[in-house]
Chains A and B, each alone.
Chain A
Amino acid sequence: MAKELIRLQNLCMAFDDEPVLNNINLYINDKEFLTLLGPSGCGKTTTLRIIGGFTTPTSGDVLFDGVRINDVPPNRRQINTVFQKYALFPHLNVFENVAFGLRLKRVPDPKDSAGKRMVRLTEEEIRSRVMEMLEVVSLKGFENRKPDALSGGQQQRVAIARALVNRPKVLLLDEPLGALDLKLRKDMQIELKRIQQQVGITFVYVTHDQEEALTMSDTIVVMDKGTIQQIGSPEDIYNEPKNAFVADFIGESNIIDGVMLRDKCVKMYGREFACLDGGFAENEPVDVVIRPEDIDIVPPEQGQLVGTVTSVTFKGMQYDIIVDFRGFKWLIQTTDHSPVGARIGVKIDPDGFHIMKKSAYSGQFGDYSSYSDEYDELSDADAVGTDEQEDGYAE
């Protein structure tokens, strides 16, 4: 099936004795769209820079197509990078920016039968490849513009064209959409996915935006504190998070202490609930994840649990309501309005529960007591733009 292209083995990295990566093991398949996702400082950019060859790992190996490439400099790797701030060459126009790699390229001389002599690409070949690539990124007609005469989205696409024109096996993208506004970001997400499918190469994408990761990726690698927390498809990561950190970082989650009485039966708030999970020890303490959209509101007498509404926020598509269940506050997303102070019952189907083993992250996430604070924080972070760390979880 899918062929393995890059493998990271026992990768460790420390800057000035400060560990940044702890024992990263990861393989990346050919033609895969893989996203490294995590809050800032989690080591995702360092991992990308190690793959690109800009940073040498303290220990561990990088294999490319089965060959160890730790000591191969970036200019000799079949990997190209789209940098966070694009790093377009300001003194060159769009055409020359894109042609930069091609002008440096040496290929075997077609006239030399032994194939040993290396020659430059001809001017016609460079021209046709550059124009073809500008077509792919919809920038035809912009060849003579200088980068500073382009909008952010256009610069972004020049950076992609400049990397892809070299026909790399892997394209690395370091938060390439971070500097764009929301609307443009959504368009570029679709555009990037289209380009990846069109050119058919591996993309390794770094972002702190979970929605971006879910939209584009074949595989998501969730990282925190220099450690991989979970690897899986977007559906796996969303539906089957491995620990409280992942559950909270990917979307909204209510995370409640529970005890697994037996397979398919979990106990919380002193009540037994039917669920679909199994494979835990009897009476094992667990974290129970309930997504806000999986909770139905019912009249109190029909509810599995009864709580009090403490806050309601209108979000357009739905209401976000915070419900107090014996001091622990849940977030529920619903299309029905319930006034503050109302007593409501909730009902959760067995497939609405996801049971996780206890981890170092247990108890840190998933309580919405400080929901309004968190909401403010999030909107602040959006206004600032890029580096917010609290994306999706309360302190």
Chain B
Amino acid sequence: MKKNTVLSRAFLFLMFLFLYAPIFVLIVFSFNDSKSNAVWGGFTLDWYVQLFQNQTVLTALRTTLLVSLLATLAATVAGTAAAIGFSSMRRRSRNLCLTVNNIPLTNPDIITGVSMMLLFVFAGQVLADLSAWLNAQSWAEQANLWFNFSFNLGFWTLLIAHITFDIPYVILSVLPRIRQLDPNLAEAALDLGASPLTAFRKVVLPELMPGIINGALIAFTMSIDDFVISYFTAGSQVSTLSMVVYSMVRRRVSPEINALSTLMFVAVLVLLIAINVRQARQDAARQRELRSAGRV
């Protein structure tokens, strides 16, 4: 019995070691005053300083934050609306929609990325052809019109891709909240004189808010650390942070990368902790509710 505990503890230790040793090394060497990733040359913040003087990194940071924020915003609105729609469906169509919703979650990123890239390229080509056709028409010439609907991979395709892969996460975190919702709540608000919109805003939305915020946080985390899908949909002109890290590694391994990766790790870690703390609080609150309901 005792032997078992020792063994299981050792196993646990090894697991954490394998999981966190790389990240630990990364963080330590981001403060290393040496170009080598093997020799400790003393503590320095130089790599962080250099990082923040690197225009490529700063532009990528701006792009990443902008894309993540906009994608989170759009996905949260769309995902919440979709979740509400799902919940008012009949069981069969709802289950179908949920399955369709879950496929992108389990789909390998590379497939999502490549398929989106192909779709964008195809749509761009179709629109380019359409523009050319319109421009060839005599009425367009007479009216002195020049159409150009075509587009290339870039910021907007990147944003659309992010919104797309964020939406299922929002739906998954809002749906359980809707299921817990007392269907009479909205009716009670209507009954007290609220218009359907006011009832939604003042009663339903506050009740769904914890789920919505959780969904937004997860979506933001997913967006900020996505590499594969971004890589295929951003085109050659736009880069996110993870793409910059990738291209830096391809040139030469610089401790700047350690610094950048450390910062990204910390940012995502903070978000994850926030999500977990929120979740724990909600669970505690639900426990309290259940207990008080049991008492009454």
A residues sitting closer than 8 Å to B (CB atoms) are: 52-54, 73-76, 79-81, 83-85, 87-91, 100-101, 104-105, 148-149, 151-152, 155, 162-163, 166
Contact = CB atoms under 8 A, between A and B. Distances in A.
A101 B198 CA distance: 11
Main secondary structure of the interface of B (DSSP, over half): helix
Nearest to B296: A152
Contacts of A81: 187-188, 191
A53 B191 CA distance: 9
A83 B289 contact: no
Nearest to B181: A90
B195 interface: yes
Interface string B159-200: 000000000000000000000001011011111111100110
Contact of A74 (B191, B202, B289): B191
A91 B189 contact: no
- Listed residue (B182, B188, B195, B295) with the most chain A CB atoms within 10 angstroms of its CB: B188
A151 B191 CA distance: 24
B198 A80 contact: no
Main secondary structure of the interface of A (DSSP, over half): mixed
A87 B188 contact: yes
Nearest to A80: B191
A338 to B, nearest CB: 43
A87 B194 CA distance: 15
Given A89-B188, A104-B194, A148-B293, 13 more contacts: A52-B191, A73-B190, A74-B191, A75-B190, A76-B193, A88-B188, A89-B189, A90-B207, A91-B206, A148-B288, A148-B289, A162-B192, A163-B191
A193 B195 CA distance: 31
Interface residues of B, number: 24
Contacts of B190: 53-54, 73-75
A83 B193 contact: no
- Listed residue (A53, A75, A80, A101) with the most chain B CB atoms within 10 angstroms of its CB: A75
A83 B207 contact: no
Contacts of B193: 75-76, 101, 104-105, 166
18 contacts: A54-B187, A54-B191, A74-B190, A74-B191, A75-B195, A84-B184, A87-B188, A89-B189, A90-B207, A100-B189, A100-B192, A105-B193, A148-B289, A148-B293, A149-B292, A151-B296, A166-B192, A166-B193
Contacts of A73: 190
Nearest to A52: B191
Contacts of A166: 192-193
Interface of B: 182, 184-185, 187-195, 198-199, 202-203, 206-207, 288-289, 292-293, 295-296
Contacts of B295: 151
A88 to B, nearest CB: 8
Nearest to A79: B191
Contacts of A101: 192-193
Contacts of A83: 184, 187-188
Nearest to B288: A148
